[in-house]
C-alpha cells in the first residue's frame, strides 16, 4: 500500500509538473511542438501593445480621411492644414492701367511671411492672369494648391474692391458720363453731384439719380473708387 501511495504521489507530481510546464506550451520533446507561445512577449517578434494601439489609431485616421474625401469637411480640414504663414497679410493696388478698349491691368504690392512682393493682374475683367515674383521664390513652398489659393485670393480681393458698397457717393472728378438703364438717356455728372449706388456687378455699377437708374461702365467703373467718395 505504501509503495502504491508513493507511486500515486509521484504520478500526481509528474502530471502537475507537466501541466505547469505546458501552461506556456513549452512542451517536452516527446510531445508535439507548440505552434506558438501564449505569452508573445517571449517570442523574437514580440507583441507590443503600444505599437498595436498606434497602428489601430492610424488605420482609423486613414478610414476617416477616405470617407471625408470630397466633402466640405475634408476641404475645410485641408485648408486648416495649409501653410497659414504663407497667406497674404496685406495688399495694395498701386495703379490700374487700360490695356485695350475693354480691359485693364492692375499692378499690386503684397506681403507674405514678412516679405514684400510685386505683381500685375492682366485683364482683370476678362480671364485675369497673374504674374508675380512670388511664384519664383524658392524660399516658399510652392505646392499646386497654394499657388491656386494665392492667385484666387488676389483676383477676388481686387474684384471686390472694384465693386462699391450700396450707399450715397459724391463725385470728386470734373465730369463722368453714364446712361439710363431704361431709356438710354445720357447723364453728364459734374463735380460735387451726389448719386446713390444701388448695386455693383463684375463689370458695371447701377446708380440712382433723381428717380432714374443709370449704368456706370468702362473707365467710370474701374476708377469709381478714385473718382467718388462715400457720403456718410
Band (7; pLDDT cuts 50, 70, 90)? very low
Q: Which three cell numbers stand for residue 118?
A: 510685386
What are the pLDDT digits (tens) for 201-216?
999 999 999 999 999 9
Q: Tell me the CB-side half-sphere exposure of residue 17, using CA atoms within 13 A.
A: 7
Band (64; pLDDT cuts 50, 70, 90)? confident
Residue 18 has pLDDT above 80, yes or no: no
Residue 154 and residue 121 in contact, taking contact as beta carbons nearer than 8 Å: yes
Q: Cα–Cα distance between 232 and 167 in angstroms, integer?
A: 9
What are the pLDDT digits (tens) for 157-193?
999 999 999 999 999 999 999 999 999 999 999 999 9
Instruction: Tally Cβ neighbours within 10 Å of residue 17.
Output: 10
Could you tell me which residues are beta bridge partners of residue 192? none
Q: Cα–Cα distance between 227 and 219 in angstroms, integer?
A: 10
Amino acid at each position: 500500500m505504501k509503495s502504491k501511495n508513493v507511486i500515486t504521489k509521484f504520478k500526481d507530481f509528474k502530471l502537475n509538473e507537466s501541466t505547469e510546464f505546458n501552461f506556456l506550451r513549452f512542451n517536452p520533446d516527446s510531445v508535439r511542438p507548440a505552434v506558438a507561445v501564449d505569452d508573445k512577449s517571449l517570442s523574437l517578434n514580440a507583441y507590443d501593445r503600444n505599437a498595436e494601439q498606434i497602428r489601430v489609431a492610424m488605420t482609423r485616421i486613414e478610414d476617416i480621411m477616405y470617407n471625408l474625401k470630397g466633402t466640405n469637411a475634408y476641404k475645410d480640414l485641408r485648408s486648416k492644414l495649409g501653410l497659414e504663414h504663407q497667406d497674404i497679410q496685406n495688399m495694395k493696388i498701386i495703379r490700374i492701367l487700360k490695356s485695350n478698349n475693354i480691359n485693364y491691368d492692375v499692378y499690386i504690392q503684397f506681403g507674405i511671411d514678412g516679405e514684400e512682393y510685386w505683381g500685375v493682374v492682366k485683364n482683370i475683367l476678362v480671364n485675369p492672369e497673374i504674374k508675380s515674383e512670388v511664384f519664383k521664390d524658392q524660399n516658399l513652398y510652392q505646392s499646386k494648391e497654394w499657388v491656386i489659393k494665392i492667385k484666387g485670393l488676389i483676383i477676388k480681393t481686387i474684384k471686390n474692391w472694384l465693386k462699391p458698397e450700396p450707399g450715397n457717393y459724391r463725385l470728386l472728378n470734373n465730369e463722368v458720363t453714364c446712361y439710363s438703364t431704361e431709356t438710354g438717356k445720357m447723364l453728364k455728372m459734374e463735380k460735387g453731384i451726389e448719386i446713390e449706388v444701388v448695386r455693383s456687378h463684375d463689370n458695371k455699377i447701377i446708380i440712382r439719380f433723381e428717380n432714374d437708374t443709370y449704368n456706370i461702365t468702362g473707365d467710370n467703373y474701374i476708377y469709381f473708387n478714385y473718382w467718388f467718395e462715400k457720403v456718410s
